[in-house]
Amino acid sequence: MNSLANIKAIAKRELTGYFASPVAYVFLVFFLLLNGFFTFMLGRLFERGEASLFWFFQWHPWLYLFLVPAVGMRLWAEERRLGTMELLLTMPVTSWQAIVGKFLASWAFLALALALTFPVVVTVALLGDPDDGTIICGYIGSFLLAGGYLAVSCMTSAMTRNQVISFILSVVICLFLILAGWPPVQDLLVQWAPRLAGLVASFSVIPHFQGFMRGVLDSRDVIFFLSLMVLALFATSVIIRNIRTGR
């Protein structure tokens, strides 16, 4: 009860923090423009004559690669730079409440950005007869994917007080998550270290995301993304504890 109230207060502060500066609006516009560009120009949605959003979701892992770390990079780095972390963590809140509150706020912000892509759905629905289930499933997958990347950004953000370093680290880790299952990388790994190949591939987000794009809601894919989030957020809490004991 009390912990929910704390999480809510922290999440509310974080969300208002986003909209206090023009950065949030710039981000939203940028996100929507890029989405449109990828879907209609590179994805050739109109020319294909298919009433599906496959070519819309197709780009999300790459789009999120740069946009999600941009949202997550400030979460802890800014707290550390300003010294407000000391203020926040000496309030009667646990570090878990702070981590979860901050994460949920950013995730809600990303959900808002995703929700604002609705004109694409409207377009497809007007021009043809798409499968509603597949679209909903795609959105769920995209939302979970964003959450996975965001948790990684949250973790890298706690590692440094410099937002740029946090951003770069996060992009590198997310890129690994994309490329881990990519055939050329896998071919290389199979020759070089066959045992490792399977393990590395299991970290890949692409196969799990593809299920959602095709309209298959598999609990294993959901669990994959949820466990990625829990793992990264747990790592965040370990890092924060280390900051407090060491230094």
Partner 1 sequence: MIKVENLVKTFGPKRAVDGVSFTVERGEVLGFLGPNGAGKSTTMRMITGFIPPTEGRVILGGFDVVENPIAAKRLFGYLPENAPAYTDMTVYGFLNFAAELRGLRGEAKKKAVHRVVEMCFLESVLYQSVDTLSKGFRHRTCFAQAVIHDPDILIMDEPTDGLDPNQKHEVRTLIKRMGEKKAIIFSTHILEEVEAACTRVIIIDRGKIVANGTPEELKRKSELAGAISVRVAGVGGDVLKAKLAALDGARKASIVREDHEVVWARVYPKTPGADGALVRAVGELALREGWRLEELHVEEGRLDEVFRSITIPETQQVPSAPR
Decide if residue 124 touches partner 1 (CB under 8 A).
no
Angle (nearest 5°) at CA 50 between 49 and 51:
120
Minimum distance of partner 1 from residue 169's CB (angstroms):
23
Contact between 121 and 53 under an 8 Å Cβ cutoff? The reply is yes
Structure tokens at 56: 């819309």
Residue (of 60, 63, 30, 58) closest to 45 by Cα position: 58
Q: Nearest approach, Cβ of 227 to partner 1 (angstroms)?
A: 28
Binder of partner 1 out of 4, 29, 82, 188 (CB under 8 A): 82
Min dist CB 6 to partner 1, Å, is 6
The nearest distance, CB 103 to partner 1, in angstroms, is 17
4 belongs to the binding site for partner 1 (CB under 8 A): no
Q: Which two tokens stand for residue 236?
A: 């965040």
Q: In the complex with partner 1, which residue's Cβ is closer, 121 or 243?
A: 243
CB of 1 to partner 1, least distance (A): 11
Q: How far apart are CA 130 and CA 132, in angstroms?
A: 6
CA nearest 95: which of 201, 198, 238?
238
Decide if residue 110 touches partner 1 (CB under 8 A).
no
Q: Is 83 helix (H, G, I), strand (E, B) or coil?
A: coil
How crowded is the C-beta side of 183, counted as CA atoms within 13 Å? 0
Interface with partner 1, residue 90, by CB under 8 A: yes
Tell me which stretch binds partner 1 (CB under 8 A): 89-97, 142-150, 211-219, 220-228. 89-97
Determine which residue in the list 33, 42, 50, 84 makes contact with partner 1, applying CB under 8 A.
84
What single DSSP character describes residue 37?
I
Task: Name every residue whose Cβ is closer than 8 Å to that of residue 22 and which is 6 or more positions away in sequence.
Answer: none
Among 94, 162, 186, 210, binds partner 1 (CB under 8 A): 94
Can you give the binding site for partner 1, defined by CB under 8 A?
Answer: 2, 5-6, 9-10, 12-13, 16-17, 20-21, 82-84, 86-87, 89-94, 244-247
